[in-house]
Structures are given as C-alpha cells and as structure tokens.
A and B are shown apart, each in its own frame.
Chain A
C-alpha cells in the first residue's frame, strides 16, 4: 500500500504537467500578436450570414470597404445559432476577430463583458441613425455597434383571398378579429403568427404589447394583459391554429404561402421566398393597434457591426474604418435593396421607400421602432423568457392572460 502511494506522486505530477501544457501554449499565443506599430495589411471579420444570397451581398460590401481602407478581409461565417458561443470562446482565448457582427439584442450582453470597444474611440459618426437603431447599439451611454440596415415585422395579407371575401386589411384589433374570423373556413385560417416558447415567440408579440402601451420592465399590467387577450382570443376562436404554439416564423411563412393562412405576422426577409411564387399576390400593412389613435410600435431587428477589444490599436482603427464604411449612405441603400431590409439612417428613409414600394410599410415602422434591449439591456433575455412563458400559459388556457402575466412576472 505504501509503495502504491509513493509511485502515485510522480504520476500526479506528470498529469498536472500535461494538463498545464495547453494553458502554457495558449499563453504564448496571446503575446505573439501584440506589436501594433506594423502596417496592418489584413483584418479578420466574423458574421453569421452563412447562406446565399446574403453571404455574397455582405461579402462584397466587406471586400470593397476593405479595399478602401487598404486592407484585405479575412472573413469567417458561422451559423447563427453558434455565433454567441463562438464569441464567448474567442473572448476567453483572446482570439476575437477585428470586426464582429452581432444580432442587435445580443450587443449589450457582449458589450457588458468588456469585449467591445466604443466606436467613439475611433471617431465613427453616429449621427442621423434612427433612435431605435442607436439604442440597440448603445451600452451605458456609449455606442458599440452600428447596423447598416434593419428590419421589423408587419402584417402580410393575401390579396386574392381578402378580395374574394370582401375584407379590407385591418387597422384595429376589432377589425383584425372580425377579418380573421371571416377569413377562416375549412383548412384555411384567418391569421398565422408564431407564439413558440423561444425569443421568436416574444418578438412576434411585442408589436401588440408595445403599441398598446405595455412595457417589458413589468409585464403584469392591464395594457399587456389586453394585448395577450387579443392573441388568446384569436387562438381560442379558431382564427389562428393552436399550432402557433410550436411554429417558427419560417413555418408561418409556409402556411401563408400554401394558402392555409390568409394573413400572417412576419418580416421582410421572407419577401424573396414569397416572390418566388408568382401566383401569390400579397400586401403589407402595419400590425393593427387597439385604438386607431394609437401609434404602431414595432420591434427592431437586424445585425450590428462592432470592433472587439483585441488589444491592437492599429488593427482596431482599420476595423473601425471598415465598420464606418459598411454604414455609409451608399452601402446602406445598396444592402437594403438587395437584402430586403431598411436603411438605418432616417435621412435615407423617404428616398428608399419611394424607390422600393414593397418595403414602404417597414420603412415607415423603423422610424418609431424600439430596440428589445433599449430598456433592460443585459436583463432582456430573462424578461423575454417571462414574456413567452406567459404567452404559452395563456394560449394553452392554463391561466387567464392577466394571471399568466402575473405568474410569469413573479417568477
């Protein structure tokens, strides 16, 4: 027994040494990339546009911005779902890219870790951007990310089905309920939306909640309860399939395209798919409000470009040049047009809307759109979870909308 212990000690040392080896190696790696006096020839970029055609649109814009700044772009695209875990992994190994794209509700989360540099450090202009866009890119009064183009959601309707039924696109909740009921027959539902237990379900509910004066800080309010009552009524009377509880936004689009839903809540990124079916005639209006005196408030979607703290000032400066270039008027208009998104500068809105009538409703909505993280910042994910939990509880009939919200808020 004694001898066994004695022989175990060198072994423990060997194991410890081997375990320490990778740490030592990675430690060497970080010091190697320091010297900031060298001329920067290449900068690395990471984003999640890994599917065509977006991949090329963004890639081309990056390449031309790189040429302007005198650097070549080394770009890496990762799937949307793995971006955040990749960013966290890189921030712990100190291998963040020079330019990083983030989905806007994640920006504050990442900025709070200290991994991003404020854009004001590099004199990147932030004037003229829509207020929602700036609040999405801001953490503790400093702008960390800018989105060249943004998006939101609205109400798509099938012109042929509505004409046939003699229904005009609804503008208020009462009209929406009446229209949805009238348009429901046989296998066709009046409306399709997504109320699944993910942030997507929350995102689709925000327009009715915000337009009615609801607020994410406290969801246990009469205004939010009214909004949830609308969602619940629509599912309860059968004008929306209860499958909405499990649908994604892509499923909602499929229902609409198959003629199984006369109207749907969705975003402009579905337009290319919708346009592929030439037999489908659709229009887009704002998501109805409870009272016609209310203004429609839509949630802001889109991706922001940031400059991570890589510790190399020269590279960061070049990265900031690229971020500024991506957000130039020219690039905003070109990307918005090719990607069916909306330029984020307010001065470009009027021109863009007149040139792209299909996106006019969305362009109008962006002026007043709200960022999800505008109020709560890092606290948003937890509150977003509460919102979709309440939606699910109410829609499955486990509690009344008011009680569901109260329960969720108290959790």
Chain B
C-alpha cells in the first residue's frame, strides 16, 4: 500500500519540478543548465534513497518467500534437496496430486466452514460488545481491557488450556454441564467427528473477539454524538438508531474487519494443531494444517508448497477485496 503511494508521489514530483525549471529558463538570470540538471539528479537520487529501504524490505521478506514458494511447488523438493541443492522440475505434478487427493475436498470444506463460522461468531459477538461498551458505565474501561486477554495469551497456551477444558472425561466444561444436570455422560467435544469442528470454531471465536471488538469500538467512537441526538428527536432510538445511524456509519469499518478477519482465519494453524491435530479422522483438517503436515511431517515440501499456494490464492482474493474496501472507505 504505502509503496504504491510513494512511487506515485516520486513520479509526480520531478514533473512539476520540470515545469518550474522551464519558467526559470526564460529568466535571463537563470542558473546554468548543468547546475539545474545536477540538482534534479540529486533530488531524484534522494527520492529513490527514501524508497530503497521499503523496496528492499518488501523484496526480502515478502517477494522472496512468495517466489520461492511458487518455484518450490513446481519442484520435487525433498529432504535431500537441502543437502544437494537438487530439486527436479516436475511441472504441475504437485498440484495434480494435492488437488486430486480425497483429502482436498474435505479440507477445503472444513476451511470454508471454519472461516465462515469463526467470522460470523467473532463479528456478531464483537459488534454486540462494542455497542454495549459505547455506553458510559462504571468499570467500562477495566472490563474492556479484560476482554483483550485472549489476544494477549500465546496461542499454544490458549489451545492447551482449551484442550483441557474440552476433555470428555475430566474437562471443566463437561463437569460444569454435568453439575447443572444438562448432560449425563461426557460430551466428546474434541473426539467426535461431528463436534470437533464446532469446538475448534468456538475456541477460535473466543480468540478473535478482542480483534473485532477493538476495531469496531474504534469505528463507533468516530460516529458523532450529534447524529444520535438528531435521530432521537426524529424518533430513532434503540434498534432504529442502530439500523439507521450506527450501521450505515460503521459500514466502511465493518468491511475492513470482515475481510481482514477472513484472511487471518484462513491461515489459522496453531489452534487446530494444539486442539485436535486435524483429527478425529480428519474432521478438523484444513488446507493450512494439511499443507503443514505435507511439508513438515511427511517432508513432501513440493506438495506442501502447492497446497500453500492454493491458500495464498484464496487469501489474495480477499486481500484485493480488502484493498478495494479500504480505498472506498478513504474516498468516503
């Protein structure tokens, strides 16, 4: 983002300089042409010097890994490659293999369900909390900062704790439900093929609420109070004021939160690995976990990279949507 704006600015500046230089040329006491050119070159060098750090950073830390990953996905890249440096070119074989695998449709579906479920939960709860915290009441600030807690915990810790809470026999959740006499026998949250994905989505919602809450709360603060005052004079209170004032005013922020949320959720790996490792019977296997498994457990780096690229392409679609959404919000 910042790179494109920098480049456009760098391009437009020399142009304006030239027009001014042209005017100066008509002046009999103008500086000699050589001096002018020197100054112009020096300025351009400085412009590029400001750009270079950003360009190098992008190339090293974004460009190189992406290009390397794409190249790797067309190679038979194995453990031996690391020692010998030899990785035979195999064309689309890696893609053919991972896309035709029976696991691909399972993990694609799981990825979709996981993403949609997580985003819907995080967003609805995050928005409800943001609207709630907009009111002034005692302890508002403390409660709001406590809600950030899931965000601050390392994901490994969160998933280990949740794994314990959700255990079938001695987990805290089943104990709690049992004491309330809601259930008689332990619910196999993480070991039933029909419940595991729901449980994992639940944990991910818990982790994602702080992000949604924070951004949406920030968006709400931007809405001027006068609008609500004026609205209330016209009879827009409660639900009506949310529907006709809050929601339309918040739309640009909502777009950004949703699209960023999708990109973040698509790549979730540690939570699933920590909770279920993709099990039971692949019922929580997503494209991200499958790609990890291929690369780092079966050492099929080429196939893992191919699947990783599929994920990159899906994310890219949403990244483009994000750029468009954020540009629209700037325009507005």
Q: Which residues of A pack against B, CB within 8 Å?
A: 3-4, 7, 11, 14-15, 18-19, 85, 88-89, 91-92, 109-110, 112-115, 187, 196-199, 241-246, 260, 381-382, 385, 389, 392-393, 395-396, 398, 411
Q: Is the CB of B79 within 8 A of A245?
A: no
Known contacts A15-B59, A411-B101; is-contact A246 B82 (Cβ 8 Å): no
**Cα–Cα distance between A88 and B78 once the two chains are bound (Å):** 10
Q: Is the CB of A393 within 8 A of B169?
A: no
**Cα–Cα distance between A246 and B162 once the two chains are bound (Å):** 13
Is B233 an interface residue, CB under 8 A from the partner? no
**Cα–Cα distance between A197 and B284 once the two chains are bound (Å):** 11
Q: Is the CB of A389 within 8 A of B297?
A: no
**Cα–Cα distance between A243 and B48 once the two chains are bound (Å):** 60
**Cα–Cα distance between A91 and B190 once the two chains are bound (Å):** 39
Q: What are the 4 closest A-B residue pairs judged by CB atoms, nearest first? A: A197-B279, A113-B80, A392-B281, A113-B83
Residues of chain A with a CB closer than 8 A to B300's CB: 382
Q: Is the CB of A88 within 8 A of B280?
A: no
Q: Which residues of B pack against A, CB within 8 Å?
A: 11, 14, 44, 48, 51-52, 55-56, 59-60, 64, 78-85, 101-103, 163, 167-170, 188, 190-193, 276-283, 293, 296-300
Known contacts A85-B296, A196-B277, A246-B280; is-contact A19 B191 (Cβ 8 Å): no
Q: Is the CB of A11 within 8 A of B278?
A: no
Cβ of B164 to closest chain A Cβ, rounded Å: 10
Known contacts A11-B52, A246-B163; is-contact A260 B169 (Cβ 8 Å): yes
Known contacts A15-B56, A114-B80, A385-B298; is-contact A241 B101 (Cβ 8 Å): no
Partner of B79, one of A110, A196, A197, A392: A110
Chain A binding surface, main DSSP class: helix
Residues of chain A with a CB closer than 8 A to B103's CB: 411
Q: Is the CB of B55 within 8 A of A92?
A: no
Q: Is the CB of A246 within 8 A of B83?
A: no
**Cα–Cα distance between A11 and B191 once the two chains are bound (Å):** 56
Q: Is the CB of A114 within 8 A of B83?
A: yes
Cβ of A95 to closest chain B Cβ, rounded Å: 12
Cβ of A19 to closest chain B Cβ, rounded Å: 7
Known contacts A114-B84, A246-B191; is-contact A396 B79 (Cβ 8 Å): no
Cβ of B259 to closest chain A Cβ, rounded Å: 30
**Cα–Cα distance between A88 and B82 once the two chains are bound (Å):** 6
Known contacts A7-B48, A19-B59; is-contact A243 B298 (Cβ 8 Å): no
Cβ of A316 to closest chain B Cβ, rounded Å: 16
- A113-B84, A245-B280, A382-B298 known; 8 other A-B pairs, CB under 8 Å? A88-B82, A114-B83, A242-B188, A242-B192, A389-B281, A392-B280, A393-B281, A396-B193
**Chain B residue at smallest Cβ distance from A391:** B281
